[in-house]
Structure 1
Amino acid sequence: MSEQLILASASPRRRMLLETIGVSCQVMPMDIDETPELDEAPMAYVRRMACEKARAGLRKAPNGVVLGADTALSLEGVILGKPGGDDRARQMLEALSGRTHQVLSAVAVAGPAGLLSECVISEVTVAELDAACIDAYLATGEGQDKAGGYAIQGLAAAFIQRLSGSYSAVVGLPLCETAELLIRQGIAIWQPPRSA
């Protein structure tokens, strides 16, 4: 039986996504500085964050296999992270309204095969959102801890017109690429459930 994976993330969505491909994990969030570097491109940023989380996890569990991941939105090359408050969330949703943006999702897995990483880019088109729609969505509180201020897997699905790319990557973890990296590190997918 393969060893258990360590997930260097507090995201319940990432844990649930791993479970959908039969991978159990131990959750061990890493507290790292997530500030983008000056002039850092969105793809370089998410890949760096995923790798830093995986490396930090490996320092705490040096004999383990650790998965780090990061997701960010890019609108015309500008990184949109978590809003941190209603005013910033409103600005983000107004900027995304009626436009197509990129969602960049990186995964890194540190283990016996070294540090392996992949980055997936998906494009998402948001419908035109009027002020009443934005206010109603903000009142739900759903998007406060989500990149770009919305959750495609939640109530915001109602205003997503089009998705080109990986749905799971937009949620927070590109499953096809993740499965490939896990297998290369000796972590089996489609594992039987572990007993508690």
Structure 2
Amino acid sequence: MAIPIILASASPRRRELLDRLGVPYRVLPADIDERPLPGEAPEAYVRRMAAEKSAVAQARSGGELPVLAADTEVELDGEVFGKPRDFHHAAAMLARLSGREHRVLSAVSLRRGGDHWEALSISRVAFRPIAETEIAAYWATGEPQDKAGAYALQGKGALFIRWLSGSPSGVMGLPLGETAELLARLGIDLWRTGAAGR
């Protein structure tokens, strides 16, 4: 059996994605201050968020198990959108994304003892034009309320997408290719059933 890890996230999407890899894990969410630093670039911001989440969870868990954390953000024109505060905030985000291409940045952080490994996935997503009535109907589904950029690829938000270049799982919150490469550092062989880590 593969060694268990700690997933420093309460996101059901990240749990579902990690389940695909067949790696046992315990959930230990890490609450951190998610405000960007002045002048902080989007790439630096998502890397810092993932790293801080894994560090907090490692400290809280006592460091006995490896810790995996991730952060995913939508970026347009150099601005990180984050999660919507309310309907008006979500509507403003989706109106700006409408008919345009944006980036989704998904950083992964893995810690074991004093070792720290990181990866960054960058995807490009193009939205078709979205009507105001669609935005209101989408908000009413409840789906955008806790999603970066106010949409979810794995749900009805996919109706807005004209094309995607990059990692679909990264857009959903945990890029599986990059995550698999990091887990290999622990000796976890995802191709062998019951593979044991070092």
Report the CA distance between 1:22 and its aligned residue.
Answer: 1.2
Aligned pairs, number = 192
Report the CA distance between 1:5 and its aligned residue.
Answer: 0.8
- 5+ residue gaps, structure 1, are none
Structure 1 runs (4+) deviating above 6 angstroms are: none
**Counterpart in the other structure of 1:21:** 21
**Counterpart in the other structure of 2:5:** 5
Report the CA distance between 1:94 and its aligned residue.
Answer: 0.2
**Counterpart in the other structure of 2:74:** 73
**Counterpart in the other structure of 1:163:** 164
**Counterpart in the other structure of 2:112:** 111
Mapped contact 2:3–2:24 kept (Cα < 8 A): no
- For 1:34 and 1:187, the matched residues in 2 are separated by 31
- 5+ residue gaps, structure 2, are none
Mapped contact 1:113–1:184 kept (Cα < 8 A): no
**Counterpart in the other structure of 2:142:** 141
Identity across aligned pairs (percent)? Answer: 52
- What TM-score, normalized to structure 1? 0.94
Report the CA distance between 1:141 and its aligned residue.
Answer: 1.3
In structure 1, what residue type is equivalent to 2:45? Y
Mapped contact 1:8–1:53 kept (Cα < 8 A): yes
- For 2:119 and 2:107, the matched residues in 1 are separated by 6
In structure 1, what residue type is equivalent to 2:121? V
Report the CA distance between 1:86 and its aligned residue.
Answer: 0.5
**Counterpart in the other structure of 1:83:** 84
In structure 1, what residue type is equivalent to 2:102? H
**Counterpart in the other structure of 1:50:** 50
- For 1:34 and 1:185, the matched residues in 2 are separated by 28
Mapped contact 2:4–2:26 kept (Cα < 8 A): yes
Deviates more, 1:123-132 or 1:110-119: 110-119
Secondary structure of 2:122's counterpart equals strand
Q: CA RMSD in A?
A: 1.3
- What TM-score, normalized to structure 2? 0.93
Does residue 120 (structure 1) correspond to residue 124 (structure 2)? The answer is: no
